[in-house]
């Protein structure tokens, strides 16, 4: 038998770390290869880590609640398959030698270890112009993690180290020695909140922490702009209502209005592909695939699974995906693959009765569309007053990538498609 390490796997694109939310095994437990051994939370999804080997768990290195970078050891296992262990012996030896070298270097100079930053930390510090020497690291041997940098940003202590800003500040200090430094203009100073009598303290779940981190990053990095249009969906309501009962009996799932909106948006994205883009620092990436992210709530948790290639699917196919993803989200069965690859987000806020809202962009996408409630309202039609089914569509956009002109054309096209259903989409199949 041989002892092997199981490491934190990479659970998706741009994922650099994960949090052990719950161990599913204990030391001494026998596991088969691919058996789940732990539940892990990332900023994208909850997932189970499978065992890489068949054998007996010998040690749980990482405690529950601990966040580890991809590739870090989480537990050890005594492998039963001797041949398999021998096949990996050379790789394990190289990893062990590298770790011994790192330990040796750390013992020689612990401060040098603290200055080894991951690519994610370096990128975030450069984007926010942060002096990393001011950030306190909570990682192993004081190493600075991405969460440390985000916490530093939220604290309001962010230091701008831009050369021109430094020069201006230096001149100001020389002319007014008693002037106090100002905090970052976008972040409020960190305040200690006191708990009063009768207050209830609610622990922050891993999912809520991930949502908070992503929303803070989106608002801190993306210059949001907003626009809204009114759409007359009277024909769409009549068309859908004429089909819904027969469709449910035939297909076994609901024909929702949301499926029509996703289809219309996917069609418009093909005609205005710049909306289907992401910001990548020194460039804008226009995505070829049209993958629509949708928000699904499960209790106090929010998941954003993806309908892949929505432009290639019929309304029936989109409706099936909506039902399937929503059911699996509420059952806790979404996979990391279900959450990856989104290029544009549509949020069905109308299901809660909302008539107007401003969405926070799903980073790093370029925009998010809020689909509000369909409301019967009196409107002017052919110089007369008529009762029509009206809906507001609200778009939040990244003003680094998009401007009002292209977004206006995009929204007009979505409006045109929806107001001409079933002419634009003669069949749900």
- List the chain domain ranges: 2-108, 114-179+205-221, 223-419
Name the 3-class secondary structure at 262: helix
Q: How far apart are CA 410 and CA 158, in angstroms?
A: 37
CATH topology for 223-419?
Chloramphenicol Acetyltransferase (3.30.559)
Residue 141 has pLDDT above 70, yes or no: no
Question: Is-catalytic flag, 399?
Answer: yes
Question: Is-catalytic flag, 403?
Answer: yes
Give every strand in the sheet of 55-60, ordered side by side.
2-7, 73-79, 55-60, 30-31
For residues 139 and 380, the model is more confident at 380
**Nearest residue to 158 via CA among 180, 185, 139:** 185
Residues in the chain: 429
- Residue range 29-46: average pLDDT? 81
Which residues neighbour 354 within 8 Å (Cβ) at sequence distance 6 or greater?
370, 372, 373
**Nearest residue to 78 via CA among 22, 30, 7:** 30
Give me Rg for the CA atoms of the chain.
Answer: 26
Q: How far apart are CA 222 and CA 364, in angstroms?
A: 9
Chain-centre distance for alpha carbon 225: 20
Q: How far apart are CA 325 and CA 258, in angstroms?
A: 14
pLDDT tens-digit readout, 326-368: 998 888 888 888 888 999 999 999 988 999 999 999 988 999 9
CATH of domain 114-179+205-221: 4.10.320.10
Q: pTM (2 decimals)?
A: 0.61
With cut-offs at 50, 70 and 90, classify the pLDDT of residue 96: very low
Yes or no: say if 170 and 2 are a contact pair by the CB < 8 Å rule. Answer: no
Q: How far apart are CA 367 and CA 72, in angstroms?
A: 35
Yes or no: say if 172 and 3 are a contact pair by the CB < 8 Å rule. Answer: no
**Nearest residue to 310 via CA among 368, 260, 354, 358:** 260
**Nearest residue to 76 via CA among 148, 20, 147, 2:** 2
Mean pLDDT (the chain) is 81
Q: How many helices (H) and strands (E) does the chain have?
A: 12, 19
What is the DSSP code (8-state) at residue 10?
Answer: -
For residues 318 and 198, the model is more confident at 318
Catalytic one of 224, 309, 399, 409? 399
**Nearest residue to 318 via CA among 396, 366, 258:** 258
- Asked if the 2-108 domain carries CATH number 1.10.260.40, the reply is no
List the single range of 129-143, 312-326, 357-371 with lowest mean pLDDT.
129-143
Q: How far apart are CA 91 and CA 85, in angstroms?
A: 10
Provide the pLDDT for residue 138: 75
With cut-offs at 50, 70 and 90, classify the pLDDT of residue 102: very low
């Amino acid at each position: 038998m041989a002892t092997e390490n199981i490491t934190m796997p990479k659970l998706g694109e741009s994922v650099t770390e994960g949090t052990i939310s719950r161990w599913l095994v204990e030391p001494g437990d026998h596991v088969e290869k691919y058996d789940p051994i732990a539940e892990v939370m990332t900023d994208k999804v909850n997932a189970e880590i499978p065992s890489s080997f068949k054998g007996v768990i010998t040690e749980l290195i990482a405690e529950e609640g601990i966040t580890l970078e991809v590739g870090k050891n989480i537990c050890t296992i005594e492998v039963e398959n001797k041949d398999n262990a021998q096949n990996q012996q050379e790789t394990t030896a190289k990893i062990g030698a590298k770790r011994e070298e790192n330990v040796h270097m750390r013992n020689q100079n612990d401060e040098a270890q603290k200055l080894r930053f991951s690519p994610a930390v370096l990128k975030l510090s450069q984007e926010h112009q942060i002096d990393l020497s001011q950030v306190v690291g909570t990682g192993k041997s004081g190493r600075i993690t991405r969460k440390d940098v985000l916490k530093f940003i939220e604290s309001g202590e962010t230091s701008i180290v831009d050369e021109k800003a430094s020069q201006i500040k230096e001149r100001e200090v020389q002319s007014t020695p008693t002037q106090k430094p100002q905090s970052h203009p976008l972040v409020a100073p960190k305040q200690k909140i006191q708990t009063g009598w009768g207050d209830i303290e609610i622990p922050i779940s891993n999912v809520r922490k991930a949502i908070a981190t992503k929303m803070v990053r989106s608002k801190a990095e993306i210059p949001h702009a907003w626009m809204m249009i009114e759409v007359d969906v009277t024909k769409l309501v009549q068309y859908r209502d004429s089909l819904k009962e027969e469709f449910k009996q035939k297909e076994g799932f609901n024909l929702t209005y949301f499926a029509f909106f996703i289809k219309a948006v996917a069609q418009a994205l093909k005609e205005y592909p710049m909306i289907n883009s992401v910001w990548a620092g020194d460039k804008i990436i226009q995505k070829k695939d049209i993958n629509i992210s949708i928000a699904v709530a499960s209790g106090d948790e929010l998941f954003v699974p993806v309908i892949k290639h929505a432009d290639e699917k019929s309304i029936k196919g989109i409706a099936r995906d909506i039902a399937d993803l929503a059911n699996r989200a509420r059952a806790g069965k979404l996979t990391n693959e279900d959450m990856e690859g989104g290029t544009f987000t549509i949020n069905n806020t109308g299901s809660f009765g909302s008539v107007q809202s401003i969405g926070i962009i799903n980073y790093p996408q370029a925009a998010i569309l809020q689909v509000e409630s369909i409301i019967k309202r009196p409107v002017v039609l052919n110089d007369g007053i008529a009762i029509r089914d009206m809906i507001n569509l609200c778009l939040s956009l990244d003003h680094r990538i998009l401007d009002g002109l292209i977004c206006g054309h995009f929204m007009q096209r979505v409006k045109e498609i929806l107001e001409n259903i079933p002419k634009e989409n003669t069949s749900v199949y």
